Amino acid sequence: MDVERSEFGLLSESSFDTREIAHYNAPRFAIDNTQRTKLIMAISVGSKAPDFNLKSKTAAGLVDVKLSENLGKKNTVVLFFPLAFTSVCTQEMCDITAGLNAYSDVNADVIAVSVDSPFSQEAWAQKEKIGIRLASDLNKKTAEAYGVLLPDLIGLGAVSARAAFVVDRQGVIQYSEQTPTPKDLPNFGAIKETLAKLK
């Protein structure tokens, strides 16, 4: 397997070999490890969205990012992605940045979450001109609460799967998707259709 490293020493998703990622099928992921199988599943539509209080690094310093701040005000798109400074994640975040108006026009906020530190996320955002809010789930509790924490990814340890949730103003999940592999992007057309119905 060819290995591509960023300036932070992280493997690029272009190097992901799906043969090393056993039985990864949305919305669940099972990995065989010494005859032990662990199953994870993204929380489903109709569930109460777990609140979170994560950190984001801005020019002004560290700030809190809370899902509950949007309750009663706007719908929220919560995106989980494996790692900053990787090709597919960069494509996803740059594409969303370019189309942010499509979300603001339907009264939706977008929060992207990964297990990277807020400082790594800020450096990545500056390098790639990513304009959406990035939130650090460094202790991995939020990915776990949403059912999208992968136990291991090609030897890198636990990271979040690529997943998307639409949370309405009442805090209820109206859209839930975990992509079949880390290389696949969420169905943003379906996400926008869901948001349009909630507008």
Calpha distance 66→78 (Å, rounded): 11
Q: Which of 65, 84, 89, 195 is catalytic?
A: 89
Q: Which of 35-39, 64-68, 84-88, 154-158 has the lowest mean pLDDT?
A: 35-39
As a whole number, mean pLDDT of residues 65-89 equals 93
- Kindly list the domain boundaries of the chain, sorted by start residue: 13-198
As a whole number, mean pLDDT of residues 64-92 equals 93
| Res 40: pLDDT | 57
Q: Beta-carbon neighbour count of residue 47 at 10 Å?
A: 16
Strands (E), 34-142: 36-41, 53-58, 61-66, 75-80, 108-114, 133-136
Q: What is the DSSP letter of 192?
A: H
Q: Say if residue 199's pLDDT is above 50.
A: yes
Q: Say if residue 1's pLDDT is above 60.
A: no
Element (H or E) spanning 31, and its range? strand 28-33
| Res 2: pLDDT | 37
* Tens-digit pLDDT profile for residues 6-30: 333 333 333 333 323 333 333 343 3
Instruction: Using DSSP, state whether 7 is helix, strand or coil.
Output: coil
CATH architecture for the domain at 13-198: 3-Layer(aba) Sandwich (3.40)
How much of the chain, in percent, has pLDDT values that exceed 90?
A: 59
| Res 182: pLDDT | 82
Calpha distance 87→52 (Å, rounded): 27
Q: Say if residue 37's pLDDT is above 60.
A: no
Is 89 labeled as catalytic in the residue annotation?
yes
Backbone angles phi, psi at 122, to 5 degrees: -65, -45
Could you tell me the pLDDT band of residue 86, with boundaries at 50, 70 and 90? Answer: confident
For 32, the token pair is 């065989």
Maximum CA pair distance of the chain?
Answer: 49
Calpha distance 129→138 (Å, rounded): 22
As a whole number, mean pLDDT of residues 86-103 equals 88
Helix 87-98 / helix 118-128 crossing angle, nearest 10 deg = 60
Instruction: Using DSSP, state whether 11 is helix, strand or coil.
Output: strand
Residue, of 145 and 86, whose pLDDT is higher: 145
Residue, of 57 and 33, whose pLDDT is higher: 57
DSSP string, 96-112: HHHTHHHHHTTTEEEEE
Q: Which amino acid is at 121?
A: Q
* Tens-digit pLDDT profile for residues 122-178: 999 999 999 999 999 999 999 999 999 988 767 777 899 999 999 999 999 999 999
Residue, of 180 and 68, whose pLDDT is higher: 68
